[in-house]
Amino acid sequence: MATIRQVQITFDCAEPERLARFWCEVLGYTVVPPEGYGSWDDFNRERFPDGDGAWCSASDPTGAGPRLFFQRVPEGKTVKNRVHLDVRVGTGMTGEERLAALEAECARLIPLGATRQRLLYDGTDSCIVMQDIEGNEFCLD
């Protein structure tokens, strides 16, 4: 049996490039067009001249993190995600130190269009539940 070595995380969304660029800012990723194309717009125009298709991707420039793929779908988001990303900004920290790191990252992401939903804090462990620019939940952990 083959070992799976890579994972891609796919987002159904309304605006693939806009959402990809948001996640690039959050994670330090870059938008990488398909091989042979100068941009995702070029690729999408060639593949979908009627404007029906739109894709974009974001990649970790170090190669360590998974590729994020964004695809336009006609329906909007209506319920809570069954899977979400945890953005690990407080790894190894506890208490007030961890909370301060999470709050600082939250403050950085809000001007990018993220919204804060709630803080989960028990005095030692904490996370902040947020939403991206299309309403997808994620956690600052």
Read off the pLDDT of residues 114-136 as tens digits, 9 standing for 90 and up. Answer: 999 999 988 878 999 999 999 99
Q: What's this model's pTM, rounded to 2 decimal places?
A: 0.89
Domain boundary among 50, 72, 94: 72
Domain boundary among 72, 93, 118: 72
Residue 18's pLDDT is 93
Instruction: Quote the tokens at residue 32.
Output: 């990488």
Judge whether residue 7 has pLDDT over 90: no
Q: How many Å separate Cα 46 from the centre of its chain?
A: 26
Indicate whether 1 belongs to any domain.
no
Q: What is the C-alpha separation between 24 and 113, in angstroms, rounded?
A: 13
Judge whether residue 88 has pLDDT over 90: yes
- What pLDDT digit, counting tens, does each position of 13-54 carry? 999 999 999 999 999 999 988 999 998 888 888 887 776 558
Q: Which domain holds residue 96?
A: 85-140
Give the CA distances from residue 107 to residues 20, 56, 116, 140, in Å, rounded to whole numbers and listed in that order: 20, 26, 9, 11
Paired sense of beta strands 85-87 and 67-72, if any = unpaired
Residue 87's pLDDT is 96
Indicate whether 3 belongs to any domain.
no
Residue 46's pLDDT is 87
Mean pLDDT throughout 2-19? 88
Residue 82's pLDDT is 82
Do residues 67 and 12 share a domain?
yes
Eight-state DSSP code of residue 61: T
Residue 110's pLDDT is 98
Do residues 22 and 47 share a domain?
yes
Do residues 37 and 67 share a domain?
yes
Instruction: With cut-offs at 50, 70 and 90, classify the pLDDT of residue 90.
Output: very high
